[in-house]
Amino acid sequence: MALKMEITVERWPIAGTFTISRGSKTEAAVVVFTLTDSGFLGRGECVPYARYGESLDSVCAEIEKLRDALADGATRDDLPGLIGAGAARNAVDCALWDLEAKRTGRSVSDIVGLPRLHELSTAVTVSFGDAQAMAASTKGFANRPLIKVKVGGENDAERIRAVAEAAPASRIIIDANEGWNDDNIVENMLAAAKAGVVLIEQPLPAGKDEILAKIPHPVPICADESAHGTDDLHTLLGRYDSINIKLDKTGGLTEALRMQKRARELGFGIMVGCMVGTSLAMAPAVLVAQDADFVDLDGPLILREDRKPGLVFEGSRVSPPQPELWG
């Protein structure tokens, strides 16, 4: 039977509105790539991200360009020579992993050589808003062990104090999404340190972060928009303490695992994060997150309804994916 390929755009409503410093959205628009061969089916999901010049149309077109190569037997190892890193390659890479698992009857974690997968504790996310509204949202998560808070505007020190007071027993990550600048970063970092924040994610715009090598880090700093793949890591030394690995940035599980290994060798801490998508997008990231200092895979919890079957969430705990979902 010939290899069959399908590219599908899906829209998943968000429960309310999800807001970061760059704007708000009310739905997660994802691309699902499906490969079928001899009755076996493999799937991968990606989330096009405008910040990186991606759209639904561009990602679908990038995947379409791979049709002939995949039909001729292109493998995961061939993908970097055929398509750049990003959302499109992620969907294809993860679909190829899933297809191999289904063909062989082995889990992806077994193929990779990972120990038995264990349950993880994920951060939950509080959207950007004014200090009072964010404190109220944070208070609703005060029983969760790890909360990620979106900042990146004027008066962030006030937001930081408010959310820390609203959840005194929780560890808090501050994510500025490139929203700070050289003039306010020291003040905001000191406010974060005073509030007991455990990590600050991407405080400055990618490519405009030279000051991070010159100022103290009273709270560890994590690279997100500045960290896409393994080749970026050497440029981050001395500026960042941790990196956020997202499969939509790396171009799939294959590169994410490579990046994780090299990051550990260089002494970086590791967060495994996500865009807002369904459990199909989170499932491969669960494998990378088995060795992470911070896990941020709450994308499905932001949706009004998740894919079925999906990952099983109990509070902040998330179980490894079942084969019916992926891998």
C-alpha–C-alpha distance, residues 327 and 312, integer Å: 15
Q: Is 102 a catalytic residue?
A: no
CB 299 within 8 A of CB 276: yes
Q: Is 150 a catalytic residue?
A: yes
Catalytic residue among 102, 148, 150, 249: 150
Catalytic residue among 102, 148, 246, 249: 246
With H, G, I as helix, E, B as strand and everything else as coil, classify residue 115.
coil
Distances (CA, A) of 19 to 15, 141, 147, 221, 248: 12, 17, 15, 22, 19
Distances (CA, A) of 217 to 44, 147, 235: 38, 20, 18
Closest by Cα among 129, 163, 132, 91 to 326:
91
User: In one letter, which amino acid is 1?
Assistant: M
Closest by Cα among 288, 292, 300, 276 to 25:
276
C-alpha–C-alpha distance, residues 149 and 134, integer Å: 8
Distances (CA, A) of 130 to 100, 157, 178: 47, 11, 18
- Write the CB contacts of 231 (distance below 8 Å, at least 6 apart in sequence): none
Distances (CA, A) of 102 to 41, 152, 169: 7, 43, 43
DSSP character at residue 303 = B
Place of tokens 């690995």: 245
With H, G, I as helix, E, B as strand and everything else as coil, classify residue 100.
helix
Place of tokens 């969430």: 313
C-alpha–C-alpha distance, residues 123 and 142, integer Å: 12
Q: Which residues are catalytic?
A: 150, 246
